[in-house]
């Protein structure tokens, strides 16, 4: 009986032990399932990260580099679809790499266990129309097992073709700009009002008495400006900083330094760049030494002023003789002689107008050109100019577009001179039989815009910047046979500024030009 009882107790203990073991196995199984689930989620998370990565990523397995994973970014670089490469050896899936070093690098990384990195590597990649040149940054990273054995290669690619091309283009532009400033003997400057930072190239430093290695600040630049010019420079900078202005900076002033006490006259040109809030970010520009240029201009002015005075008297006498001869020819009814005299009289008038231009420049320089403002009808002035122009110009289609009567307060003679000058230029620089259109339009803010439009050779952007400067002539081989001194447009600009008006040009090569005078009413 005791044996039976002892046996039952052993069996009960065994059952309890088995139950405990089963419970433990069940718990272990649950932990294992949970770990497997976490591992699966982890793998899926890694795969999702790879899929969404902004750079190309691929996982190659084994010595044959079987493509296991390839994200959309790398497929785009390769020019392939996933179905074309997945599960296939890299060398077979991408035959376009034959003769290129990529497959060799993969084998090297797999065999040595050492990663490889390539910066700005040029490679030929598959494209819709064949192969294309591409520039990439690449990393080939060996993948190790838990035993430390290489099992594959992780490939990371980033195509930077466009960025490199843009950088190279920028570097080329910088080189060309540097060569241009060097050849043109231009000093360059950079000013950042927010930080008060001011800098310039070596030429600018030399003009301000500094060596190439010296640092330059705004105080040094300001101290070198002649006292009489400092206020004008400050006003010009302040005007260019105005958020409602076009940001252009232009002024001529004198600078000096202890090594150059006589100083030099410089012409400053710059452009203000605004941020998104229309606050001044930077002022960048150039300085050009115009000391000798101004001396040459002064010599020209002196010579032309002297010659003009000397020529005006005989021209006046010649004109009087021609008028007398014309009256005699009319009385005698000699039409042939009348035509010859009329042509001679026209040339005398042209010569007189040119001499008056020279004299007007002299008056401008001496401050003796004064305005005689009157109130006149611009429409009537257009009628007079139309009659005069049509009687003297027969080579072009002259069109005066006249609006309604418009009263203007200005110097009638000088406004007429500006329009005649612009029309004369249009005739000179436009092919025969093309149209020249002269018009005026009143606009808000009590202003009128007078425009002269032609179908001529056009003006380059470079020339447009300087075309209103004294003695400036467009550098164009086609102008070899066209006479001119480069003072007409300069005189137009000066007359406009005396009226607090603005003259401008819009033009493109072979597309003609439109000159506009914006005049207060």
* DSSP class per residue in 259-305: TEEEEEEEEEEEEEEE-TTS-EEEEEEEEEE-HHHHHHHHHHHHHHH
Contact 297, 307 (CB under 8 A): no
Of 429 and 345, more confident: 429
- Ordered alpha helix ranges (H), 393-484: 412-428, 461-466
Q: Which residue has the tokens 């790499």?
A: 97
Q: Which residue has the tokens 């272990």?
A: 28
pLDDT at residue 375, as a whole number: 92
pLDDT in tens, 130-168: 889 999 999 999 999 888 899 999 999 999 999 988 888
Q: What is the mean pLDDT of residues 437-454?
A: 88
pLDDT at residue 141, as a whole number: 92
| Separation CA 19–CA 209 (nearest Å) | 99
Q: How many CB atoms lie within 10 A of CB 263?
A: 16
**Which distant-in-sequence residues (6+ apart) come within 8 Å of 364 by Cβ?**
491, 494
Long-range contacts of 63-71 (CB under 8 A, 24+ apart): 63/107, 63/110, 64/89, 64/90, 64/91, 65/89, 65/90, 65/91, 65/103, 65/106, 65/107, 65/110, 65/152, 65/153, 66/90, 67/93, 68/152
pLDDT in tens, 450-459: 999 999 888 8
Chain centroid to CA 263: how far? 33
- Tell me the pairing of strands 397-401 and 435-443: parallel
pLDDT at 444 over 80: no
* Fold assignment, 186-289: Beta-Lactamase (3.30.450)
**Torsion angle, CA of 440/441/444/445, rounded to 10 degrees?**
10
Domain range annotation of the chain: 1-52, 54-165, 186-289, 299-366, 374-520
pLDDT at residue 265, as a whole number: 92
pLDDT in tens, 242-295: 888 888 999 999 998 878 878 899 999 999 998 888 888 999 999 999 988 888
pLDDT in tens, 351-373: 776 676 666 666 656 555 677 88
370, burial (CB in 10 Å: exposed 0-12, middle 13-18, buried 19+):
exposed
pLDDT at residue 323, as a whole number: 82
Q: How many CB atoms lie within 10 A of CB 102?
A: 18
| Separation CA 219–CA 205 (nearest Å) | 13
Instruction: List the structure tokens of 137.
Output: 């940054």
Q: How many CA atoms lie within 13 A of 297 on its CB side?
A: 15
Confirm whether 54-165 and 186-289 share one CATH topology.
yes
| Separation CA 300–CA 97 (nearest Å) | 70
Of 121 and 486, more confident: 121
pLDDT in tens, 79-109: 999 999 999 999 999 999 999 999 999 999 9
Contact 455, 476 (CB under 8 A): no
pLDDT at residue 309, as a whole number: 60
Least reliable range by pLDDT among 20-29, 64-73, 237-246, 426-435: 20-29
* Fold assignment, 374-520: Heat Shock Protein 90 (3.30.565)
Of 27 and 435, more confident: 435
* Fold assignment, 54-165: Beta-Lactamase (3.30.450)
pLDDT at residue 185, as a whole number: 82
Contact 72, 48 (CB under 8 A): no
pLDDT in tens, 303-332: 666 666 666 667 777 878 888 888 888 888
Long-range contacts of 43-51 (CB under 8 A, 24+ apart): none
Q: Which residue has the tokens 């890299």?
A: 90
- The closest alpha carbon to 406, from 438, 382, 373, 389, belongs to 382
Q: How many CA atoms lie within 13 A of 333 on its CB side?
A: 0
Q: For residue 518, name the pLDDT band (cuts at 50, 70, 90).
A: very high
* DSSP class per residue in 366-384: HT------EEEEHHHHHHH
Contact 36, 54 (CB under 8 A): no
- What is the percentage of the chain residues whose pLDDT exceeds 70? 83
pLDDT in tens, 193-210: 888 888 888 888 888 888
| Separation CA 376–CA 485 (nearest Å) | 31
Contact 426, 465 (CB under 8 A): no
pTM over 0.85: no
pLDDT at residue 232, as a whole number: 92
- Tell me the pairing of strands 130-144 and 186-192: unpaired
| Separation CA 354–CA 485 (nearest Å) | 10
Chain centroid to CA 408: how far? 38
């Amino acid at each position: 009986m005791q044996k039976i009882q002892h046996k039952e107790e052993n069996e009960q203990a065994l059952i309890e032990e088995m139950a405990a073991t089963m419970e433990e196995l069940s718990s272990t199984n649950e932990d294992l399932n949970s770990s497997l689930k976490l591992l699966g989620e982890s793998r899926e998370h890694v795969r999702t990260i790879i899929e969404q990565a902004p750079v190309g990523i691929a996982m190659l397995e084994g010595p044959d580099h079987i493509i296991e994973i390839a994200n959309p970014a790398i497929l785009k670089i390769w020019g392939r679809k996933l179905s074309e490469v997945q599960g296939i050896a890299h060398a077979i899936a991408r035959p376009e790499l034959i003769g290129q070093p990529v497959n060799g690098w993969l084998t090297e990384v797999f065999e040595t266990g050492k990663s490889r990195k390539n910066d700005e590597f040029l490679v030929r990649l598959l494209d819709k129309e064949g192969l294309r040149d591409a520039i990439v940054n690449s990393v080939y990273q060996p993948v190790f097992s838990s035993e430390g054995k290489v099992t594959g290669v992780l490939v990371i690619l980033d195509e930077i073709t466009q960025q490199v091309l843009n950088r190279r283009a920028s570097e080329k532009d910088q080189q060309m700009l540097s060569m241009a400033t060097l050849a043109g003997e231009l000093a360059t400057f950079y000013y950042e009002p927010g930080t008060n930072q001011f800098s310039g190239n070596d030429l600018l430093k030399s003009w301000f008495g500094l060596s190439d290695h010296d640092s330059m600040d705004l105080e040094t630049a300001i101290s070198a400006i002649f006292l009489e010019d400092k206020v004008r420079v400050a006003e010009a900078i302040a005007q260019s900083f105005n958020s409602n202005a076009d940001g252009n900076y232009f002024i001529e002033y004198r600078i000096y330094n202890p090594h150059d006490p006589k100083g030099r006259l410089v012409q400053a040109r710059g452009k203000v760049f605004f941020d998104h809030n229309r606050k001044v970010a930077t002022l960048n520009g150039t300085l050009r030494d115009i000391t000798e240029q101004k001396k040459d201009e002064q010599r020209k002015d002196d010579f032309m002023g002297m010659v003009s005075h000397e020529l005006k008297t005989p021209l006046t006498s010649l004109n009087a003789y021609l008028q007398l001869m014309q009256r005699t020819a009319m009385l005698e009814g000699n039409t042939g002689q009348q035509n010859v005299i009329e042509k001679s009289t026209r040339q005398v008038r042209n010569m007189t107008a040119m001499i008056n231009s020279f004299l007007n420049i002299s008056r401008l320089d001496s401050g003796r050109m004064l305005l005689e403002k009157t109130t006149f009808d611009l429409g009537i002035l257009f009628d007079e100019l139309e009659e005069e122009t049509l009687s003297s110009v027969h080579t072009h289609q002259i069109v005066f577009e006249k609006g309604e009567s418009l009263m203007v307060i200005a110097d009638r003679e000088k406004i007429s001179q500006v329009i005649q000058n612009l029309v004369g230029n249009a005739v000179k620089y436009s092919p025969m039989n093309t149209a020249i259109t002269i018009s005026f339009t009143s606009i808000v803010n009590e202003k009128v815009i007078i425009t002269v439009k032609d179908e001529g050779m056009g003006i380059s952007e470079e020339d447009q910047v300087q075309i209103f400067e004294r003695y400036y002539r467009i550098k164009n081989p086609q102008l070899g046979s066209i006479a001119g001194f480069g003072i007409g447009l300069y005189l137009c600009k000066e007359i406009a500024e005396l009226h607090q008006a603005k003259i401008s040009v819009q033009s493109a090569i072979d597309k003609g030009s439109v000159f506009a005078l914006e005049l207060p009413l």
